[in-house]
Amino acid sequence: MFQGYWAAVVTPFRHDRIDVAAFERYIVTLVEAGIRGVVVGGSTGEALSLTREERLQLIKAATHVAENRVPVAAGVITATTHEAVQQAKEAEQAGAVALLVVSPFYVKPSSEGLYEHFRAIHEATSLPIIVYNNPGRTGVDIDLNTLKRMTQLPRIAALKEASPQISRVLSWKKSLRTDFAFLSGNDDTVPAFLAMGGQGAISVTANVAPRLCTELYNAWTNADLETFTRIRNQLAPVHETLFVAPNPCPTKYALSVMGLIRDEVRAPLLPLTDLEQLAVRRALQDASLLTT
């Protein structure tokens, strides 16, 4: 299940309410473009701004529209184990088939604390778990020994690695279960990540270029290096520009000019400046994702 491009989807708002109709149309475009899975309520989905009811609404809408064509994973984004267990249980009940669980942020837990956090979620649910390592956001970096302990739990199934140390894939794979998957959390390093032995990505860029991302992965698996190189180069400016401002502000703006959602974020995030908007438009045009 954990291979290829998964989209870390945004949460569309209309006047500060979830725009369910736009969300469902947007999920359909991702599925039809060949995306392997979607992650709802992650960092790109503005998880920390969502209420409990909104998280469940998004999971139910995504699973309804996906209609078993692609798996839907739910983000578990919180700093406490108690709340993480509650989010995980509710996500399972709402229809999610996997969990993306971020390391507890701000509190900087010990290795033992990290292990116990993931163990508690594992024991409370029956879903496969993607461990989300994002030290830039959480302040803690999961090391190999801690991950090895986690993977002794049978449903710890994959790692979303968002640190800059992509060489970990090559060195860590030999120490972990053969069925354990490595997914990139950084779009700009996906080509190198795949070359290091990774199985795919949980991607921001896949929101605006799902077909190109799918074609890039297929070219890699088919050893079509000419196509792989062409698409890699085509997507490079998009990766950079989608982080010209805090995520997901540029992605939401891009999706709005593509006619998929409204450009609306929740504070403390802010809309793009005129210069940032221009940069996003140019990147989309350069990648042939926007014609006007």
pLDDT tens digit at each of 292 positions of the chain = 999 999 999 999 999 999 999 999 999 999 999 999 999 999 999 999 999 999 999 999 999 999 889 999 999 999 999 999 999 999 999 999 999 999 999 999 999 999 999 999 999 999 999 999 999 999 999 999 999 999 999 999 999 999 888 889 999 999 999 999 999 999 999 999 999 999 999 999 999 999 999 999 999 999 999 999 999 999 999 999 999 999 999 999 999 999 999 999 999 999 999 999 999 999 999 999 987 6
Cis peptide before 128 (omega within 30 of 0): no
99 residue type, one letter: L
Look up 253 and say whether it is catalytic. no
Question: 3-state SS string over 28-45?
Answer: HHHHHCCCCEEEECCCCC
167 residue type, one letter: S
Structure tokens at 61: 């809408």
Sequential DSSP letters for 222-286? TT-HHHHHHHHHHHHHHHHHTTSSSTTHHHHHHHHHTTSS-----TTS-PPPHHHHHHHHHHHHH
Distance CA 62, CA 65 (A): 5
Look up 160 and say whether it is catalytic. yes
94 residue type, one letter: A
51 residue type, one letter: T
Which one is catalytic: 5, 26, 115, 132? 132
Name the residue among 2, 66, 57 with its Cα closest to residue 31.
Answer: 66
Report CA-CA distances (Å) from 242 to 108, 227, 233, 285. 28, 23, 15, 13
* Side-chain-facing half-sphere of 255: CA atoms under 13 Å: 30
* Contact predicate 208/244, CB 8 Å: no
Helix, strand, or coil (residue 288): coil
Structure tokens at 91: 């996500």
Distance CA 27, CA 111 (A): 36
Distance CA 40, CA 9 (A): 6
H helix count then E strand count, the chain: 12, 10
* Contact predicate 19/261, CB 8 Å: yes
CATH 3.40.1280.10 fits 4-234, yes or no: no
Which one is catalytic: 5, 26, 115, 160? 160
Cα pseudo-dihedral 265, 4, 133, 209, rounded to 10: -30
